[in-house]
C-alpha cells in the first residue's frame, strides 16, 4: 500500500506516514540550515546534558535468557515510512532467516533481540514531538504493537535529535515509556547497561562532537568505572565514526575524546583519596556508530599478524591482506542502515592508525594501534 493511501487511514494508525525527506529541496535545505545554526548557538549557552544531572539516575541491567543475549543496533532511521517500516519489521520479527553468503554456512534462524540500541538520528530533518510520532514511533509501534518479553530499547541522540536542544528526545526516550513492544529504560541521553557474561553496553552523548560534559562523566564514574573488573568487555556506542574522520590530517584530533574516555574511564579509574590510578583490566571490544549511511568495519591488527604468511593475492593487487578471525581483535563498526538514503564507501581509508600520529592525546612513547578495513 502506498504512503498516500495509508494517510487516508491516519486516524486508525495514530500517526501520519511520511515520504522520505527531500534533502535537495531549497525549502528543506533552508529550514534545516536555520535549525543547525540555532541549535549550535543554543548548545553553546545551555547544554541540556548538564540539566539532566537533576534527574536521579538508575542502575541499568539486562538479564540473560537461556544463557545468551541477542542485541540489535540500528541508526539513522527516522526518514520515510517505507524504509523505516521495513527495517522496523525486521527488528520486530520473532525470527529471521538470513541468506548465507555464496558458499557460506547458514547463520540463522536469528531470534528477536532482547536489547535494541538506536544509535542516533531517530528523526529527520529536525526533531519535534510530532515528527518523532510520524517518522519513528508510529512505524515501530506498527511493526511490534506488543511483546510479552518487552525487549529493552536504549537510545542515543544524533545531530538531528539535537536540533531542538534535545527537548523532544528526552520527552520521548527518557521517560521509561513503551514504544510498541519495546520499553525505554534510560532517563538521560546516555547510558551504561550491565549485560550478562561480564559485558557492558555504553552509550555516549557527544552533542555536536564537543567534549564530554562533567555530569555525564560523573554518571559513568558511578555506574561504569567503579564497577568494572578485570576481563570485562565493553560495547561502546557513539554518535559519529570519529575514527574515520581522524584519518584526515586536518581532523586528526577527532577521535581524541573517545580515546580519552576509554583510557580514563574504562581502562583505568582514579582514587580521589589517594590520587592513585588503578588499572581496571577492562577494555572496549566493539565501537559502533551510525551517522554515515553505510556499513564499514575496521578490525584491530595484532602483533601475531606480523608473523603470518604473506598474502600473495593482496600483494599483487596492492590491497590490504585479509585478517584472520580472532576474538582478540577489537572492532570498529559504522552501521547507518536504519532507512535513510545510502552513502558510498569507496573513499574510506584501508588502514586507521589510532590515535593518529601527532594527535594531541597520544602520550609519550605510545604507538598508534592500527585497524584495517575488513568489511
- Lowest-confidence region among 52-61, 245-254, 352-361: 52-61
pLDDT in tens, 249-266: 888 888 999 999 999 999
Cell reading at 29: 535545505
pTM of the model: 0.89
Can you give the pLDDT at residue 237? 96
Can you give the pLDDT at residue 134? 92
Give 108's pLDDT tier (boundaries 50, 70, 90): confident
Can you give the pLDDT at residue 315? 47
Q: Quote the CA–CA distance of 38 and 331 in Å, as a whole number.
A: 36
Can you give the pLDDT at residue 150? 92
Can you give the pLDDT at residue 311? 54
Average pLDDT, the chain: 86
Can you give the pLDDT at residue 135? 93
Can you give the pLDDT at residue 372? 94
Burial 223-236 (b: 16+ CB within 10 A, else e): bbbeebeeebbbbb
- Between 303 and 143, where is the model more confident? 143
CA 251 to chain centroid: 21
Can you give the pLDDT at residue 20? 87
pLDDT in tens, 284-299: 999 999 999 999 999 9
Cell reading at 312: 600473495
In this structure, what DSSP letter does residue 342 have? P
Q: Where are the domains of the chain?
A: 3-373
**Dihedral of alpha carbons 161, 164, 166, 167, sign:** negative
Has residue 320 got a pLDDT over 90? Answer: no
pLDDT in tens, 193-235: 999 999 999 999 987 666 788 899 999 999 999 999 999 999 9
Number of helices (H), then strands (E), belonging to the chain: the values are 12, 18
Q: Quote the CA–CA distance of 83 and 337 in Å, as a whole number.
A: 10
Provide, rounded to the nearest whole percent, the portion of the chain with pLDDT above 90.
Answer: 53
pLDDT in tens, 147-177: 998 999 999 999 888 888 888 999 999 999 9
Q: Under CATH, what is the fold of the domain 3-373?
A: Purple Acid Phosphatase; chain A, domain 2 (3.60.21)
Give 366's pLDDT tier (boundaries 50, 70, 90): confident
- Between 7 and 319, where is the model more confident? 7
Amino acid at each position: 500500500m502506498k504512503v498516500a493511501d495509508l494517510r487516508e487511514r491516519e486516524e486508525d494508525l495514530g500517526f501520519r506516514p511520511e515520504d522520505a525527506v527531500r534533502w535537495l529541496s531549497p525549502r528543506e535545505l533552508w529550514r534545516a540550515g536555520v535549525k543547525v545554526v540555532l541549535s549550535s548557538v543554543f548548545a553553546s549557552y545551555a547544554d541540556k546534558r548538564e540539566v539532566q544531572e537533576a534527574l536521579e539516575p538508575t542502575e541499568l541491567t539486562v538479564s540473560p535468557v537461556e544463557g545468551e543475549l541477542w542485541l540489535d543496533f540500528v541508526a539513522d532511521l527516522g526518514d520515510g515510512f517505507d524504509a523505516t517500516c521495513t527495517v522496523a519489521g525486521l527488528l520486530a520479527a520473532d525470527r529471521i532467516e538470513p541468506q548465507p553468503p555464496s558458499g557460506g554456512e547458514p547463520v540463522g534462524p536469528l531470534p528477536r533481540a532482547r536489547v535494541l540500541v538506536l544509535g542516533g538520528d531517530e528523526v529527520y530533518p529536525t526533531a519535534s514531538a510530532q515528527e518523532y510520532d510520524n517518522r519513528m514511533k508510529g512505524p515501530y509501534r506498527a511493526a511490534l504493537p506488543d511483546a510479552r518479553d518487552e525487549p529493552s530499547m536504549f537510545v542515543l541522540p544524533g545531530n538531528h535529535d539535537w536540533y531542538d536542544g534535545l527537548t523532544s528526545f528526552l520527552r520521548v526516550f527518557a521517560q521509561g515509556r513503551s514504544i510498541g513492544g519495546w520499553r525505554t529504560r534510560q532517563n538521560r541521553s546516555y547510558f551504561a547497561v550491565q549485560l550478562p557474561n561480564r559485558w557492558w553496553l555504553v552509550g555516549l552523548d557527544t552533542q555536536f562532537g564537543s567534549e564530554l560534559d562533567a555530569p555525564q562523566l560523573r554518571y559513568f564514574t558511578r555506574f561504569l568505572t567503579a564497577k568494572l573488573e578485570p576481563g570485562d568487555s565493553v560495547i561502546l556506542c557513539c554518535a559519529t565514526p570519529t575514527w574515520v574522520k581522524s584519518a584526515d590530517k586536518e581532523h586528526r584530533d577527532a577521535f581524541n575524546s573517545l580515546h580519552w574516555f576509554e583510557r580514563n574511564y574504562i581502562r583505568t579509574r582514579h582514587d580521589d583519596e589517594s590520587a592513585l590510578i588503578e588499572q581496571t583490566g577492562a577494555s572496549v571490544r566493539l565501537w559502533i556508530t551510525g551517522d554515515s549511511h553505510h556499513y564499514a568495519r575496521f578490525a584491530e591488527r595484532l602483533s601475531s599478524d606480523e608473523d603470518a604468511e604473506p598474502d600473495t593475492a593482496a600483494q599483487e593487487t596492492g590491497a590490504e591482506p585479509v585478517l584472520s578471525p580472532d576474538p582478540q581483535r577489537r572492532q570498529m563498526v559504522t552501521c547507518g542502515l536504519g532507512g535513510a538514503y545510502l552513502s558510498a564507501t569507496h573513499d574510506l581509508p584501508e588502514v586507521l592508525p589510532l590515535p593518529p600520529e601527532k594527535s594531541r592525546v597520544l602520550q609519550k612513547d605510545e604507538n598508534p594501534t592500527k585497524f584495517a578495513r575488513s568489511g
